[in-house]
Amino acid sequence: MRVSKRKKRGLWEGALSLLPKDKKPKVLRSVGDVLPSEEDEQKLLVKYLELKKIVFYAIPNGELRTLSAGRRLKLTGVRAGVPDLCIPMATPDYHGLYIELKRKKRATVSEEQKEWLAYLNSAGYLAVVCYGFEEAKKVLEEYFYRDNFKLM
């Protein structure tokens, strides 16, 4: 589905150019707003991290799997609720940064995710929920530029 130029204005104007041409955000016909999927939001964030040369890794917990694949992954250590991305770069205040990325609207944080976020924060990490690429970008900028400490 083609997105009109009018709908690209604003927050997503520059961000849309980072997406591959075959992956366009979904459009809500009743509302008319561009509503990127969580996957699209994460692709933008990954592209941003790569452009800034920030070391990170993704934790692919959110995909639907067969029951047998789920059992196999659980036996090998995959845990429900672990945040989507980890930036294993310490600052004077934190051991690293975990980001649970959600789409901007209609997103909920599961109980397992809340438990992991609380645990990681208590263990000395900064673990946050970000609603959309722009919010995650702000968190990264604050994380790396606080108190004259610069990593980016």
Q: pLDDT tens string for the chain (152 positions)?
A: 444 545 444 444 455 555 555 555 554 444 456 788 888 899 999 999 999 999 999 988 777 778 888 788 888 888 889 999 999 999 999 999 999 999 888 888 999 999 999 999 999 999 999 999 999 999 999 998 875 555 55
Give domain limits for the chain.
37-148
Backbone angles phi, psi at 97, to 5 degrees: -125, 130
CA-based torsion, 67, 68, 70, 75: positive or negative:
positive
Is-contact 57 82, C-beta < 8 A? no
Q: Return the structure tokens found at 102.
A: 């959600």
CATH code of the region 37-148: 3.40.1350.10
Look up the pTM and report it: 0.73
